[in-house]
Chain A
């Protein structure tokens, strides 16, 4: 057992990366594996700085391939282990993430998105949205929480461990360089004080006693001989995934009830959208926001309802429509026209959105 540092409600002024390290400790995580890449380095820096007090463990591996697989190893041995990465690191960690999907390993990872493709910028983007949801050679049996600030980072990092261990699908906290590097006030708390019980962790391998005498052998497969054999397993995963989706899908609406123009945004961009919605409402324009919190799986019914109510939709992202692509698929059959405001690798401001929505009022979109 690790020592938990936050025993009572504590307001702190932290960077998002620091928040994530505190959150992992609050969730009783006992091991972090990682490899440095900006803008998420301070997660491991903070985690390591706290080690003398928490008595948790840390291993810096030789690259993200190894960090991903080491995390899986730690989890199989019964550790509540996690990792964090960004950008090109997220790309090369996909093999391990696919293995987590195949072997139903409760892998937890914080992704702090930076600009892409390739090295691009170390600053900020929402360009790992598709990669985090659907990367690897598989079907995206993953749960992805997209956060919009420091309180979210704390809340959802704790939640990610429970979601992963309960449903045994890899679970992500998807944030970005802004959230990692920026400072704002946050309330840290002991999860128990909010009625949150951590799902107990058990080793998948390395159990007590002798195999065949005291316990059964464990056979976790990620190799299959026959095509049909594989499909049978994946079909059963899909059933589990669909059932789970109804329980974990989360979203937030802001003044969306009577919105004529509905902004659909996730993560930190949704926060700018809130600012814009307030400004637009002051100008008499009925704008609202639908923010998927789980971007995989999406809360499809509420999403369709909100879109059906609106006269126009605006997709906005710090990427070229990666969320929009996932959302549009779920809106099949609806005819609400939409516009887009995409800024690849660049922050979207409230002013950007006010201007865009005003132009949509003047000349409505027909697509």
Chain B
């Protein structure tokens, strides 16, 4: 049974839950079984924010899982909190331009990306999380780009219609994110 378990973790305010929602919406619309649990404290900003997402072909049983297939860590605290979800079969992605430490864990693959730097220097700080969404899309490889674009339209369509250049900016961010993983995988 194909089931992909994702742990997406960052600081509150980085947009972790926003992209998790887009990801699972895309999965739902694509006819997959999906289950998403947001996990955060009482803070409006700050604190570690984690999204547990599952995308599967068959009915999903356990809502929470011990180990993830893809674990994305977007801050030092996220690394501290989420190393426990890493197994030997996990792919770990972390942002080298945010984190000052490197995940120390036994896993299949550790990928360092500099999404925050790219967002700030080449696009806009506001699409940092969309770059990460692109990373997720490429790393999980269970959904199509068109699925994600449709879900983005549902979540952000009104903003896009008011400012069409935002659509282009977000698509570009998505593509850059996907390429980040592809480049690393090619190495």
Tell me the smallest distance from the CB of B54 to a CB of chain A, in Å.
9
Report B17-56 residues with CB < 8 Å from chain A CB: 21, 24-25, 28, 33-42
Tell me the smallest distance from the CB of A189 to a CB of chain B, in Å.
19
User: A182 and B42 in contact (CB under 8 A), knowing A272-B63, A349-B66, A350-B65?
Assistant: no
B60 within 8 Å of A by Cβ? yes
* Pick from B34, B41, B63: contact of A271, CB under 8 Å: B63
Chain B residues with Cβ below 8 Å from A352 are 66
Once bound together, how far apart are the Cα atoms of A123 and B39, in whole Å? 6
B62 within 8 Å of A by Cβ? yes
Tell me the smallest distance from the CB of A252 to a CB of chain B, in Å.
13
Chain A residues with Cβ below 8 Å from B40 are 123
Q: Are A178 and B63 in contact, with the CB atoms below 8 A?
A: yes
Tell me the smallest distance from the CB of B59 to a CB of chain A, in Å.
10
* Pick from B21, B42, B64: contact of A38, CB under 8 Å: B42
Chain A residues with Cβ below 8 Å from B149 are none
* Pick from A149, A183, A351: contact of B36, CB under 8 Å: A183
Q: Are A182 and B37 in contact, with the CB atoms below 8 A?
A: yes
Chain B residues with Cβ below 8 Å from A38 are 42
Chain B: residues with Cβ within 8 Å of the partner, total of: 22
Report A330-367 residues with CB < 8 Å from chain B CB: 347-352
Q: Are A350 and B61 in contact, with the CB atoms below 8 A?
A: yes
Chain B residues with Cβ below 8 Å from A184 are 33-36, 60
A275 within 8 Å of B by Cβ? yes
A121 within 8 Å of B by Cβ? yes
Q: Are A351 and B66 in contact, with the CB atoms below 8 A?
A: yes
B67 within 8 Å of A by Cβ? yes
Q: Are A183 and B35 in contact, with the CB atoms below 8 A?
A: yes
Q: Are A185 and B28 in contact, with the CB atoms below 8 A?
A: yes
Tell me the smallest distance from the CB of B57 to a CB of chain A, in Å.
13
User: A182 and B36 in contact (CB under 8 A), knowing A13-B25, A13-B28, A122-B41?
Assistant: yes
Tell me the smallest distance from the CB of B149 to a CB of chain A, in Å.
17
Task: Name A149's closest neighbour in chain B (CB-CB).
Answer: B63
Q: Are B37 and A349 in contact, with the CB atoms below 8 A?
A: no
Chain A residues with Cβ below 8 Å from B36 are 182-184
A105 within 8 Å of B by Cβ? no
Once bound together, how far apart are the Cα atoms of A352 and B63, in whole Å? 13
Q: Are A183 and B63 in contact, with the CB atoms below 8 A?
A: no
User: A271 and B61 in contact (CB under 8 A), knowing A183-B24, A349-B66?
Assistant: yes
Tell me the smallest distance from the CB of A214 to a CB of chain B, in Å.
54
Tell me the smallest distance from the CB of A346 to a CB of chain B, in Å.
9
Tell me the smallest distance from the CB of B29 to a CB of chain A, in Å.
8
Once bound together, how far apart are the Cα atoms of A350 and B5, in whole Å? 13
Q: Are B63 and A185 in contact, with the CB atoms below 8 A?
A: no
Task: Name A350's closest neighbour in chain B (CB-CB).
Answer: B62
A278 within 8 Å of B by Cβ? yes
* Pick from A122, A181, A272, A274: contact of B64, CB under 8 Å: A272
Once bound together, how far apart are the Cα atoms of A178 and B21, in whole Å? 15
A307 within 8 Å of B by Cβ? no
Once bound together, how far apart are the Cα atoms of A184 and B35, in whole Å? 5
User: A349 and B60 in contact (CB under 8 A), knowing A13-B28, A183-B34?
Assistant: no
Chain A residues with Cβ below 8 Å from B38 are 181-182
Q: Are A272 and B62 in contact, with the CB atoms below 8 A?
A: yes
Once bound together, how far apart are the Cα atoms of A351 and B61, in whole Å? 12
Most buried by A among B38, B41, B63, B67: B63
Tell me the smallest distance from the CB of B6 to a CB of chain A, in Å.
14
Chain B residues with Cβ below 8 Å from A178 are 37, 63-64
Once bound together, how far apart are the Cα atoms of A350 and B40, in whole Å? 22
Chain A residues with Cβ below 8 Å from B28 are 13, 185
A261 within 8 Å of B by Cβ? no
User: A182 and B63 in contact (CB under 8 A), knowing A121-B41, A122-B42, A123-B39?
Assistant: yes
Tell me the smallest distance from the CB of B63 to a CB of chain A, in Å.
5
Task: Name B40's closest neighbour in chain A (CB-CB).
Answer: A123
A303 within 8 Å of B by Cβ? no
Chain A residues with Cβ below 8 Å from B39 are 123
Once bound together, how far apart are the Cα atoms of A359 and B60, in whole Å? 25
Once bound together, how far apart are the Cα atoms of A137 and B162, in whole Å? 58
Tell me the smallest distance from the CB of B35 to a CB of chain A, in Å.
5
What are 22 A-B pairs at a CB distance below 8 A? A13-B28, A121-B41, A123-B40, A178-B64, A181-B37, A181-B38, A182-B37, A182-B38, A183-B21, A183-B36, A184-B33, A185-B28, A185-B33, A268-B63, A272-B62, A272-B63, A274-B61, A276-B62, A347-B64, A349-B65, A351-B65, A351-B67
Q: Other CB < 8 Å A-B pairs besides A182-B38, A349-B64, 11 of them? A: A13-B24, A123-B41, A181-B37, A181-B38, A184-B33, A271-B61, A271-B62, A271-B63, A274-B61, A347-B63, A349-B66
Q: Taking beta carbons and an 8 Å cutoff, which residues of A are in contact with B? A: 13, 38, 121-123, 149, 178, 181-185, 268, 271-272, 274-276, 278, 347-352
Q: Taking beta carbons and an 8 Å cutoff, which residues of B are in contact with A? A: 21, 24-25, 28, 33-42, 60-67
The 9 A-B pairs with the shortest beta carbon distances in the complex, nearest first, are: A275-B61, A347-B64, A351-B66, A272-B62, A275-B62, A350-B62, A182-B37, A13-B28, A349-B66
